[in-house]
Amino acid sequence: MNTLAIDIGGTKLAAALINSQHEISLRTEIPTPAHAEPQALEQAMAHLVAVYEGKAQRVAIASTGIIDNGILTALNPDNLGGLNQFPLQATVERLTGLPCVVLNDAQAAAWAEYCHLSAQFKHVTFITVSTGVGGGIVINGELLTGPHAFAGHIGHTQADPNGPMCGCGRVGCVEAIASGRAIAAGAQHDLLGKNAREIFALAQEGNEQAQQLVARSAQAICQLIANLKALLDTECIVLGGSVGLAQGYRLQVEKQLATLPVAFHVPVYSAHYLHDAGLMGAALWSEYRAV
C-alpha cells in the first residue's frame, strides 16, 4: 500500500509517496499560490498530484487551516488567501480518483511525532513555527481535534494584549509575534522586505535587529509552552516548521523556559521527522483510521 501524502502550508506545498514501511520517496515541493483562491489552489494541487498518477492507493493530506469534515477554512486569511469552506477532500478525490483523508497540518505532525515517542510519552504537544504558528495536542494517546476541528490552534492564543493585530482578527496572538510572517513583518530600516529565512541568517552574522526579532519570537513560544504545561500537563513539546527547526531556535526557547518556575518546565524536542512531520502524520493517520 502506497500513500500519496500531501502537506499544504502557507509557503509551500509538499508531496511524497509513503509505503507500508513508512519510507518516504519521490518527494516534491512547489510554492503555495500567492493568491490561493479556490481555482489557484486546485490548479496547484492538480500539478502536484499529476507526478504520482498510478503510484498510490490512497491520499492523505495535512493542511494549514481548520479542516472540518474534509472542508478547509482559513482562520488567518493572510496565510492562505482567505479560503473559506473549500472542499479539499472532495477536490483531491476528484483529481486523483482515490480515497482521501484530510487533517490540519499541525494536528497531523503531532500524530507523527507522538507515534515516534509513544513508548516514552502519552501526552505530546507539537508546535509548528512556520508561515503561521500551529499546534497539535495528543492526550493519553489520542489526538485532540475537537467538535469543530479547531483544537490545537494555539497560535491564536494571546501573547500580548498590546501586541500587533493578527490576521485572524484578534489582537496580539502568538502567531502575530512569533511566526515566520510576523518576524518578517516586524523588520524595519535595513531589514525591511527581508523574509524570516534571511533574518535568521543575519541574526547568525550578528545583526542586532535580526537577533531581537528572533528572540521576540522565541520568547512568545516559550510563554506559550509554559501556558500549555499549565493547561495540559503535557509531557513534552515537539517543535517543527522551518522557523522552529532553524539553527539555534530551540536552544533559545529552552534557555528562556529554564528561567521560569520549575512547574512550567517541560522537555522540548525538535521534530524527529523534521520538515516531513506533516506528510508522515497524514499518512500514519490514514493508516490508523484505515481509510
Residues 164-223 contacting Zn ion, CB under 5 A: 166, 168, 170, 173
Q: Which does 108 bind (CB under 5 to 8 A by kind): Zn ion, ligand ADP, ligand BMX, none?
A: none
CB of 104 to ligand ADP, least distance (A): 12
Q: Quick check: 186 binds ligand ADP (CB under 6 A)?
A: no
Burial of 178 (0-12, 13-18, 19+ CB in 10 A): buried
Which residue of 73, 242, 256, 286 would you call a contact of ligand ADP, by CB under 6 A? 242
CB of 240 to ligand ADP, least distance (A): 8
State how far the Cα of 51 lies from the Cα of 101, in Å rounded to an integer. 19
Q: Quick check: 246 binds ligand ADP (CB under 6 A)?
A: yes
Question: Which residues have C-beta within 8 Å of that of residue 166, sequence separation ≥ 6?
Answer: 76, 156, 172, 173, 175, 176
CB of 11 to Zn ion, least distance (A): 18
Find out whether 103 and 62 touch, Cβ atoms under 8 Å. yes
Contacts to ligand BMX by CB under 6 A:
9-10, 64-66, 74-76, 79-80, 104-106, 128, 130-134, 153, 155, 175
- Select from 51-59, 166-174, 242-250, 266-274 the region that touches ligand ADP (CB under 6 A): 242-250
- Cα torsion for 99, 75, 150, 233, to the nearest 10°? 120
b/e code 266-283 from CB counts within 10 Å (16+ = b)? bebbebebebbbbbbbbb
Between 128 and 256, CB nearer to ligand BMX: 128
Q: Quick check: 270 binds ligand ADP (CB under 6 A)?
A: no
Distances (CA, A) of 246 to 135, 186, 235, 243: 18, 18, 23, 5
- Give the residues lining the site for ligand ADP (CB under 6 A): 9-12, 130-131, 180-181, 195-197, 200, 241-243, 246
- Give the residues lining the site for Zn ion (CB under 5 A): 156, 166, 168, 170, 173
